[in-house]
Structure 1
Amino acid sequence: MPKGVMIAAPHSGSGKTTVSMGLMGVLSKRYRVKPYKVGPDYIDPSYHRYITGTPSTNLDIFMLGENTLKFLYARNTDRYDISLIESVMGLYDGVGTTAYGSSAHVAKLLNLPVILVIDAGAMAASVSALVSGYVNYDKRVNIAGVIFNKVGSEKHFHLLKECVERDTGLKVLGYLPMDKAIELPSRHLGLVPASEMVGLNASFARLNELIERYIDIDGILKIAEQAGSVSYQAPEKIVPLRNKVPVAVAMDEAFNFYYSDGLELLEQLGGELIPFSPIRDDKIPDGVKGLYLGGGFPEIFAKELSENNSMKSSIKDAVREGMPVYAECGGLMYLTRSLKDLAGCTYDMVGIFEVGSEMTRRLQRFGYVQAEALRDNILMTKGEIVKGHEFHHSTLKGYNEDSACYEVSKPDKSAIWKEGLLYRNCLATYVHTHFWSNPGMAKRFLLMCEEMW
């Protein structure tokens, strides 16, 4: 039976990402490690891949549904020695006020033991009350061990260990001391992506050193043996198109928000994915039949994107001639007339759509959404629905809802709005989705690429 364990925490900022990355680094020296991330996050998985050399799979119940999530998890377990799952937010935080879609929900679904990472920087005996609460809140969740983060000294650790093991019976697996050298910088959407970081090897070398010195690796491997089997209904067989369909995928510092399993699905269906850089390349790759512009941070690289006039012209010409183009969030911003950053500087973008994008200091949309197509487009026919999420600090200036391609709503219908842009075979939207949420979208996109261009 393949080993697996989830690294979770009471709340964001406890240190689960640091511990997860450190364990991935140490275990990858001896084992084939398959990384996973609960939820829709793009950035943490970029670090998982950097550390392990293996693409990280997102496990998001809202977008994928329980069966597809189990399939994407279980299909990989036999190829690896251990699966290491980084959780999201607090262990029981799900959609709205429920635990639906939470890390606890995923742990139960996948029969995974859970190791709880506790920020113990300002705690003593009270740590027992905290751990007991998480253990007893839902006893169907197999919380099997505890790791402390931001521990002040070895004496502090032994105090915490004595309390938890005495009062809860859980095994304490070690700790991480406070150390500035292992802290990774953040900005408005979370960690700075791995592709932009300098000196990562030194940071991870230090983290690995601390993990090996202070964490019980053998104890974690023993807990990982508690992982149970996962049963699921096999999805509909993937039938590839007869001919390969070359699709250019924007992949650089400005655009890198993609789900690895979604890209793999495009390839299984017959897509030949060709990466390119809107920052550095002169034009889109020759011979491609479609273009995929994912999310990312165009606002950070607005000057470089703006100055690459030949690339902008190449994309604009392709769109006007009818090439199918799908753009999500950052990709949408790139296709607008201009991008205004927080410093008030405005940069010319591709100009497919006569609206401007403008950065704001607060989140404009955040969380899961459901989008219904208001008209036929390259992904869906009118009336089709897709689940996804939005997470952005920008707004569109001059946008007219009459041109919207989606009606978008929160899962509980507490908010409903129209959004998205269409021009010929170009679809641009703030909604991030996962092709495995509706494989028909991926196939329709490739068919449109094959037929329209």
Structure 2
Amino acid sequence: MSAGGSVMPRLVVAAPSSNAGKTSVATGLIAALTARGLTVSPHKVGPDYIDPGYHGLAAGRPGRNLDPWLVGEERIAPLFLRGALHPRTADVAVVEGVMGLFDGASHPAVEPGFASTAHVARLLRAPVVLVVDASSQARSVAALVHGFATFSPDVRLGGVVLNRVGTDRHEAILREALGAAGVPVLGAVRRMEQLHTPSRHLGLIPAAERSDAALATVRWLGEVVAASVDLDAVLALARSAPALAAQPWDPAAEVAAVPGRPRIAVAGGPAFTFGYAENTELLEAAGAEVVTVDPLRDEALPPGTAGLVVGGGFPEVHAAELSANEALRGDVAALAAGGAPVVAECAGLLYLSRELDGMPMCGVLDVATAMSPRLTLGYRAAVAVTDSVLATAGTRVRGHEFHRTHADPSAGATGAWQWSAAGPEGFVAGGVHASYLHLAWAGSPRLAGNLVAACARRTESARAHR
């Protein structure tokens, strides 16, 4: 297969609104196609970290995000091809949408519908499968689907999967109505309580935390979709997608590699499951050796660690276990005190704080953090307040917030970012950069390059003083 002008079979799984069941259908579709022996490339529209975890379990390869707000429109097709062709070429790609098909970013910097599922489908020239919750309707489903099929002429609605269908008679009425509307019905999934996926304050429980239960859920979703959806028709629709005139994204073309192979530890394990695959790929392309550290289980940072990245996740759920690992907390504090680059996002900020819900954390930041009743969620257009190991002052980035915790204070003497008149947010001190802002470094690859260069300087300095 040629990378440029790639004919990658693909489709987008969308819905009229949230909670229609598109995650269950998309994950089940990925699992069912994988069970057929196909290599499936899973993708997710938007900044969601949790759904791609289930996709990855179903496909056996990382689920990747596609978000025009975070990375720019011009990178969507290249990043899609990166996922579809790496580590090996997929037979088909399944892209799960976000919210309703035409619901996009609510931000004054972009036009309505920007970063919506429809926007990404247009950028990928991909047909759309609409998952419709049919539990409270009959013939009206045809009017609903007709509206979605005709609302935007440059979005191709290729078929419908009916979800939460009640009886054989209910299904017959729905199929008859949609037949008259001229939209193919690709499948009908019955109401099944067994398909409920446990959730918590930020959505579904990450697949990495549920392990055996998550695998069982994914396997069951695949079996249900295989029995309820015409997979041959789905594959035929995916293969109708035209060639993409784009080159796959290459992290090595985005950053300059530094010498010395500085070792950067990246937090992982059940408490820190939020991250973009491209972030690690950029660190490696910039010359770093990336190793994983699990703050729940590992009692020390890897030998020779020159820098640390602690991304997002649910440390508030694991606060007691994180606090009990005093050895690693001390190691992290010593690393930061020595001036090493330490970059933390959201959950990482909580871990670096003095305390989380009253339990001791690493104490790198003199900050108290705690659960909050208010959900903070949304896209942010931010500017760096000062020079740091991550960015120079004035650097502009696009990111997002997604948390139900708060920090007191919310910013240090020197903040990390500013995106509103309320003032700076986050903390920059020595080599530490901590903030609630989540970033996809594929949209700002210089951030990865800056971090690896800072770690390389520390490694070289340490060698010089031996």
TM-score range, shorter chain: over 0.9
Distance 2:368 2:223 in 1: 48
Q: Which runs of 5+ in 2 are unaligned?
A: 1-6, 460-466
Distance 2:80 2:121 in 1: 11
1:262 counterpart = 2:279 = yes
Distance 1:304 1:390 in 2: 25
Equivalent in the alignment of 2:219 = 205
Equivalent runs, 1:35-74 vs 2, <5 Å: 35-74=42-81
Shift of the alpha carbon at 1:352?
A: 1.1
1:93 counterpart = 2:106 = no
1:262-295 per-position Cα deviation (integer Å, ceiling 9, x unaligned): 2112112222111111111111111111100011
Query: Which among 356, 380, 401 is matched to residue 391 of structure 2?
Result: 380
Equivalent in the alignment of 2:4 = none
Look up the equivalent residue of 1:292 and give its one-letter code: V
Equivalent runs, 1:332-347 vs 2, <5 Å: 332-340=349-357, 346-347=358-359
Distance 1:288 1:404 in 2: 26
Q: Which runs of 5+ in 1 are unaligned?
A: 341-345, 410-414
Distance 2:173 2:50 in 1: 35
Question: Which stretch shifts more, 52-61 or 201-210?
Answer: 201-210
Look up the equivalent residue of 1:312 and give its one-letter code: R
1:199 is paired with a residue whose SS is: helix
Distance 1:52 1:270 in 2: 29
Shift of the alpha carbon at 1:239?
A: 3.5
Equivalent in the alignment of 2:180 = 166
Aligned partners of 2:381 and 2:398 also within 8 Å:
yes
Distance 1:101 1:109 in 2: 10
Q: TM-score, normalised by structure 1?
A: 0.94
Equivalent in the alignment of 1:360 = 372
Look up the equivalent residue of 1:352 and give its one-letter code: V
Equivalent in the alignment of 1:154 = 168
Distance 2:115 2:398 in 1: 13
Equivalent runs, 1:33-432 vs 2, <5 Å: 33-78=40-85, 79-96=89-106, 98-167=112-181, 169-197=182-210, 198-232=212-246, 236=253, 238-340=255-357, 346-363=358-375, 365-400=376-411, 402-409=413-420, 417-432=423-438
Shift of the alpha carbon at 1:140?
A: 0.9
Shift of the alpha carbon at 1:397?
A: 1.7
Equivalent in the alignment of 1:438 = 444
Shift of the alpha carbon at 1:351?
A: 0.8
Equivalent in the alignment of 2:453 = 447
Shift of the alpha carbon at 1:165?
A: 1.6
Question: Which stretch shifts more, 62-71 or 9-18?
Answer: 62-71
Shift of the alpha carbon at 1:298?
A: 0.6
Distance 1:31 1:164 in 2: 30
Shift of the alpha carbon at 1:241?
A: 2.2
User: Judging changes above 3 Å, is the alpha-carbon distance between structure 1 residues 91 and 399 closer, same or farther for their aligned structure 2 residues?
Assistant: closer
Shift of the alpha carbon at 1:417?
A: 3.8
Shift of the alpha carbon at 1:25?
A: 0.5
Distance 2:353 2:83 in 1: 39
1:24-64 per-position Cα deviation (integer Å, ceiling 9, x unaligned): 00101221100000000111111111111111111000011
Look up the equivalent residue of 1:306 and give its one-letter code: S
Identity of paired residues, percent?
Answer: 38
Look up the equivalent residue of 1:383 and give its one-letter code: G
Aligned partners of 1:110 and 1:229 also within 8 Å:
no
Look up the equivalent residue of 1:161 and give its one-letter code: R
Distance 1:375 1:396 in 2: 20
User: Judging changes above 3 Å, is the alpha-carbon distance between structure 1 residues 112 and 203 closer, same or farther for their aligned structure 2 residues?
Assistant: same
1:254 is paired with a residue whose SS is: coil
1:198-249 per-position Cα deviation (integer Å, ceiling 9, x unaligned): 4233323322222121111001001101212222477745442233221111
Question: Which stretch shifts more, 221-230 or 309-318?
Answer: 221-230
Distance 2:260 2:240 in 1: 44
Shift of the alpha carbon at 1:401?
A: 5.8
Distance 2:352 2:258 in 1: 29
Look up the equivalent residue of 1:113 and give its one-letter code: P
1:50 is paired with a residue whose SS is: helix
Shift of the alpha carbon at 1:399?
A: 4.0
Distance 1:136 1:17 in 2: 24
2:273 is paired with a residue whose SS is: strand
Aligned partners of 2:39 and 2:92 also within 8 Å:
yes
1:98 is paired with a residue whose SS is: coil
1:295 is paired with a residue whose SS is: coil
Q: TM-score, normalised by structure 2?
A: 0.92
User: Judging changes above 3 Å, is the alpha-carbon distance between structure 1 residues 401 and 203 closer, same or farther for their aligned structure 2 residues?
Assistant: closer
Shift of the alpha carbon at 1:362?
A: 1.8
